[in-house]
């Protein structure tokens, strides 16, 4: 069922402009936006995903990945079909790209009330808007997040960071933490491989931090695409100088998927070189992901370098963190604990 969309304005000749993300799509009557889920019907913008959740799970919060936000807790995770990007390496393409094929949007019929009640029943500490791109199911996310806060739950967004400035402001006060994909640090990657642009993502990261969100950043390292030493140096420097050295950076191993089947798996050597670029830039917490059992998934004190949170896959053991501080030297560890 179509639901009234938010963040749009009417134009001449029955057209509308969507103001939800930084594509700012101008949509003709009976046409859809770039995401495939927002439709102009008789000069009004409607969303096709408000009550259709296509993925629903209880996850460890570490899976988002968030390592410094309520570690060791469970998060009620949900996503609809649709995305405003078209990444050729997408690992959830059946979910994210489905609406762009013209096929019917499918999912489990829900309401914000049902979602929040389920999160409470499963003893989750938070709700995560994830799997596809939560920007495109903004209305469902906003309504659910309000109810979640009323029930004492936190809200997490896992996103490509391509929102409009208006969208960021609408979500401020509702979203407590975000993991944002900073997919590369070159415009060509964003335009040719993702169908987006880099600068809006950088602007939004700055604004999220300024607005008080807890932010962690993830980069999927793809051989030959976004892994040059110079690019990684620039990316790490941006996080350290523009967001802060306390912002965790997750460097994730690529596996061939979707339209990028001919690209090799990221080598451990490349992941370690990226991690060195992060530490050289002054980042206090740099993690390597998608490599179970590696030492670079644990949290170490930036002062005394003792291991505080030990991780294997998505399982976490508290080895030395007490009330958000290192029990060995008393250093305050940045995050929400």
Nearest-angstrom CA–CA distance, 127 and 215: 16
Residues 189, 87: Cα–Cα separation, whole Å? 10
What does the pLDDT look like over 11-32, one tens digit per residue?
A: 999 999 999 999 999 999 999 9
Cα 18 off chain centre by: 21
CB burial readout 256-285, b (16+ within 10 A) else e: eebebeebeebeeebbeebbebbeebebbb
Residue 309 near residue 322 (C-beta atoms within 8 A): no
Write down the pTM of the prediction. 0.97
Distance CA 197, CA 85 (A): 10
The total domain count for the chain is 3
| 321 and 223 assigned to the same domain | no
Task: Decide if 68 contacts 335 (C-beta within 8 A).
Answer: yes
Question: What are the pLDDT digits (tens) for 174-201?
Answer: 999 999 999 999 999 999 999 999 999 9
pLDDT grade, residue 294 (50/70/90)?
A: confident
One domain for residues 254 and 138: yes
For residues 17 and 144, state if they share a domain: no
Express each pLDDT in 84-119 by its tens digit.
Answer: 999 999 999 989 999 998 788 999 999 999 999 999
Q: What is the pLDDT of residue 185?
A: 98
CA distance 239 to 236: 5
Domain shared by 117 and 39, yes or no? no
Q: Are residues 71 and 197 located together in one domain of the fold?
A: yes
pLDDT of residue 55: 97
Residues in the chain: 337
pLDDT at 82 exceeding the cut of 80: yes
- Name the pLDDT band for 295 (thresholds 50, 70, 90): confident
Both 32 and 106 in one domain: the answer is no
Domain that holds residue 29: 3-47
């Amino acid at each position: 069922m179509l639901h009234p969309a938010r963040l749009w304005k009417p134009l001449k000749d029955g057209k509308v402009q969507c103001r939800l993300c930084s594509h700012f799509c101008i949509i003709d009557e009976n046409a859809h936006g770039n995401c495939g889920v927002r439709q102009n019907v008789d000069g009004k913008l409607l969303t096709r995903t408000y009550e259709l959740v296509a993925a629903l799970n209880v996850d460890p919060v570490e899976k988002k990945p968030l390592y410094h936000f309520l570690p060791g807790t469970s998060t009620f995770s949900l996503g609809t079909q649709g995305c405003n990007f078209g990444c050729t390496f997408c690992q959830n393409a059946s979910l994210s790209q489905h609406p762009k094929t013209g096929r019917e949007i499918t999912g489990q019929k829900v309401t914000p009330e049902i979602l929040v009640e389920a999160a409470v029943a499963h003893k989750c500490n938070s709700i995560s808007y994830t799997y596809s791109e939560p920007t495109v199911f903004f209305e469902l996310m906003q309504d659910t997040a309000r109810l979640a806060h009323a029930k004492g739950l936190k809200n997490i967004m896992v996103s490509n960071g391509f929102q409009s400035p208006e969208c960021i402001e609408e979500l401020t006060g509702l979203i407590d933490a975000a993991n944002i994909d900073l997919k590369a640090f070159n415009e060509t990657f964003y335009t040719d491989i993702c169908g987006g642009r880099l600068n809006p993502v950088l602007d939004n990261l700055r604004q999220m931090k300024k607005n008080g969100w807890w932010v962690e950043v993830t980069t999927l390292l793809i051989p030959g695409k976004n892994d040059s030493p110079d690019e990684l140096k620039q990316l790490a420097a941006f996080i350290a100088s523009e967001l802060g050295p306390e912002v965790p950076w997750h460097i994730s191993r690529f596996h061939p998927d979707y339209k990028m089947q001919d690209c090799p798996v990221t080598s451990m050597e490349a992941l370690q070189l990226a991690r060195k670029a992060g530490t050289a830039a002054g980042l206090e917490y740099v993690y390597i992901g998608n490599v179970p059992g590696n030492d670079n998934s644990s949290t170490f004190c930036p002062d005394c370098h003792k291991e505080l949170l030990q991780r294997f896959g998505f399982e976490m053991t508290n080895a030395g963190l007490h009330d958000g501080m290192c029990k060995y030297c008393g250093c305050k560890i940045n995050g929400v604990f």
